[in-house]
Amino acid sequence: MIALHYHKNLNDLRERELVEWNEDIISPESVATIDGMFAERVRRSRDRPAYKSYQRESGSWVEYSWGQMADQVARWRDAIAVESLDPGDRVAVLLRNCPEWVMFDQASLGLGLVVVPLYTDDRPDNTAYILNDSAAKLLLVQDAGRWKRLAPAIGDNRLLKRVLVLDSGVAAQKLAERDERIRLVSGWLPEKGGESCRRKGEADGLASIVYTSGTTGRPKGVMLSHNNMLSVAHGALAVVDCYREDLFLSFLPLSHTLERTGGYYLPVMTGSMVAYSRSVGQLAEDLQIIRPTAMIAVPRIFERVYARLKEQVSRKSVFARWLFELAVDVGWRRFLYQQHRGSWGPLLLLWPLLQRLLATKVIEKLGGRLRVAVSGGAPLSPEIAKVFIGLGVPLLQGYGLTETSPVISINPLENNQPSSVGIPLLKIKVRIGQDDELLVKSPGVMLGYWNNHAATRAVIDSDGWLHTGDQARIEGKHLYITGRIKDILVLSNGEKVPPGDMELAIALDPLVEQVMVVGEGRPYLTALLVLDAVFWPGLAQEYGLDSTDPASLRSRKVMAVVLRQIKNALTDFPGFAKIRRVTLLLEPWTVDNGLLTPTMKTRRDNVLKYYAREVDGMYAGGLAAGDRR
């Protein structure tokens, strides 16, 4: 254990608090398995706080120590042991983030079972497919409502022997009376668990099957071992320091591998505390209550905050807007100077004043103690990164795949290149293959796809390199993702366009909620745009239109405004990367309507089919002469 009174990565606010920071890291080699690591953490930190969550029944936040969590895990383990399951059997969990997710996971792993995480907002048919494909024998579900939506899709799945309902209410009790498979957790758990006994599990043993929410076709089950996830968590700690006194705020679903490895297993490894946010809708309030020092998010969270910030600034005076831009610019120069990539200049003398007037207010909205914020799961816009970093938010971009458990690279605080996805973690090798494809060798690379040897061979070659499907370049130690091989649009004239980069640029406009660039095999580029429900009414009113009338979306004035804003957003792109026509929409793309994956990625093929008539309409008749510029 290393005690620190100061560390170069701690921000100024934390230095003033004079907190003693302690490293207490458990090495994967010393414990072999995830459940073994949990047991070791309990041994080291029994009386220290481990988890905090909001109890709806009492209307208050409740803390659990590591010892209290161990006692609860013992109850769950003893109850699961009665269910006639054998080591290697699959058990599924369909819960929102909460301590019970951890209890179930640790109890199952401690019995040698394989955990299959499910998304609470996934489509019932997709969830039913995963349960059937994994041959899950036991399912833990949040409440009666979720089971009622799921049951018809499951049908006569006879492999599923037991369904556990966590929230016990009248509806859940009625379900249990009608279906002998169903048990309410409150009555199923014993009052007390027996003494825990560390099993001798194998590090390379299968721990979990995580189904990738592919943008096309059925999801594939990624088989991850104990060592896969532990090695990645440990490797991340060699790049970004984490301390026993850190407090993580968890709001990405635990079914997302980034949150599971980085926001669950890593804090167990370091002895840090985790607080579970009530919901994304209450995230702003929870940040104020919890005051985290660390959090993991996807770019969409930062995009939403950025859009609101930009909208608020736009309504202020010319002087206030200038002051905000100055704060970002000076803060960014200060960042580059601290990173040894920029020189000192007189403008930096303004930072203490600008920090007090503006930057500190943004930091306080994030809780005021944030030491590190990690963005992963999708590309982060460089412009958004510049604004947050310029205002003093320690924002780091990382990169990875479910198939790599999931992190491949992350930016260090002291060598942060926001336009890159960081440097590879310890023991991870990367190289550039054919068509600039990024290839990876890592102890985090999956065991393979569940029941799909052909798909496994297609992504892991005979030399053990995993083919990511992402195009990349390497500059020094830093990795830059430049595109997606399958997502490159090839126009009918042969020009190749990476739609993802264009979509990132367009989505910075507060008016745009979702966007998809279209053009494969077509003579020019078009786009489908879902307008933000908050900002659209204001634009419609400005032009005397009824925001609830679908015809308003086809107004020439509105179209001209939108196309002009898109043109401005794409000024840095080649001349042929120009959006010629757009279709404006109000219906959001969601998981329920099949247009988003559970990880919020656009199902491009589904969107194209859903809006086939609108897409064809944008190409009907070709371009008028005035549109060819």
Q: What's 429-491 look like in SS3?
A: EEEECHHHEEEEECCCCCCEECCCHHHHHHHECCCCCEEEEEEEEEECCEEEEEEEHHHCEEC
pLDDT at 17: 54
Q: Which of 466, 370, 368, 483 is nearest to 421 (CA)?
A: 483
Residues 169 and 50 sit within 8 Å (Cβ to Cβ) = no
Query: Residue 577, CB half-sphere, CA atoms under 13 Å: how many?
Result: 21
Q: Which of 376, 387, 381, 391 is nearest to 422 (CA)?
A: 376
Q: Residue 543 and residue 548: Cα distance in Å, rounded?
A: 14
Distances (CA, A) of 283 to 280, 301, 336, 387: 5, 10, 30, 20
2-4 vs 21-23, strand pairing mode: antiparallel
**Kindly report the CA angle at 575 between 571 and 577, in degrees rounded to 5?**
80
Q: Which of 297, 299, 359 is nearest to 327 (CA)?
A: 359
Residues 264 and 95 sit within 8 Å (Cβ to Cβ) = no
pLDDT at 14: 43
CATH class of the domain defined by 32-201: alpha beta
Q: Which of 533, 557, 529 is nearest to 307 (CA)?
A: 533
Q: Which of 256, 300, 316, 285 is nearest to 61 (CA)?
A: 285
Residues of the chain with pLDDT under 70: 1-19, 213-217, 494, 622-629
pLDDT at 16: 42
Q: Which of 546, 581, 590 is nearest to 563 (CA)?
A: 581
Residues 400 and 258 sit within 8 Å (Cβ to Cβ) = yes
Distances (CA, A) of 104 to 5, 110, 124, 402, 576: 37, 10, 22, 21, 53
Q: Please compute Rg for the chain using Cα positions.
A: 25
Q: Give the tokens for residue 70.
A: 């161990």
Tracing tokens 């209290």 back to the chain, one arrives at 68
Digit-coded pLDDT (tens) for 46-69: 999 999 999 988 899 999 999 999
Query: Residue 145, CB half-sphere, CA atoms under 13 Å: how many?
Result: 5
Superfamily of domain 488-627: ANL, C-terminal domain (3.30.300.30)
* Number of CB atoms found within 10 A of residue 296's CB: 26
The CATH 3.30.300.30 domain(s) of the chain lie at 488-627
Burial class, 608, CB count within 10 angstroms (exposed 0-12 / middle 13-18 / buried 19+): middle
Tracing tokens 């006194």 back to the chain, one arrives at 245
Q: Residue 38 and residue 51: Cα distance in Å, rounded?
A: 13
Q: Residue 246 and residue 49: Cα distance in Å, rounded?
A: 11
CATH class of the domain defined by 295-485: alpha beta
**Kindly report the CA angle at 270 between 269 and 274, in degrees rounded to 5?**
95
Q: Which of 368, 356, 81 is nearest to 196 (CA)?
A: 81
* Number of CB atoms found within 10 A of residue 576's CB: 12
Q: Any long-range contacts for 594-600 (C-beta under 8 Å, 24+ apart)?
A: 594/123, 597/213, 597/214, 597/215, 598/119, 598/121, 598/122, 598/126, 598/213, 598/253, 598/255, 599/119, 599/213, 599/256, 599/298, 599/377, 600/298, 600/300, 600/378
Residues 6+ apart with CB under 8 A from 557: 543
pTM of the model: 0.85
The CATH 3.40.50.12780 domain(s) of the chain lie at 32-201, 295-485
Give the single-character DSSP code of 533.
T
* Number of CB atoms found within 10 A of residue 312's CB: 11
Give the single-character DSSP code of 602.
B
DSSP 167-233: S--HHHHHHHHH-TTEEEHHHHS-SS----------TTSEEEEEE---SSSS--EEEEEHHHHHHHH
Residue type, 262: G
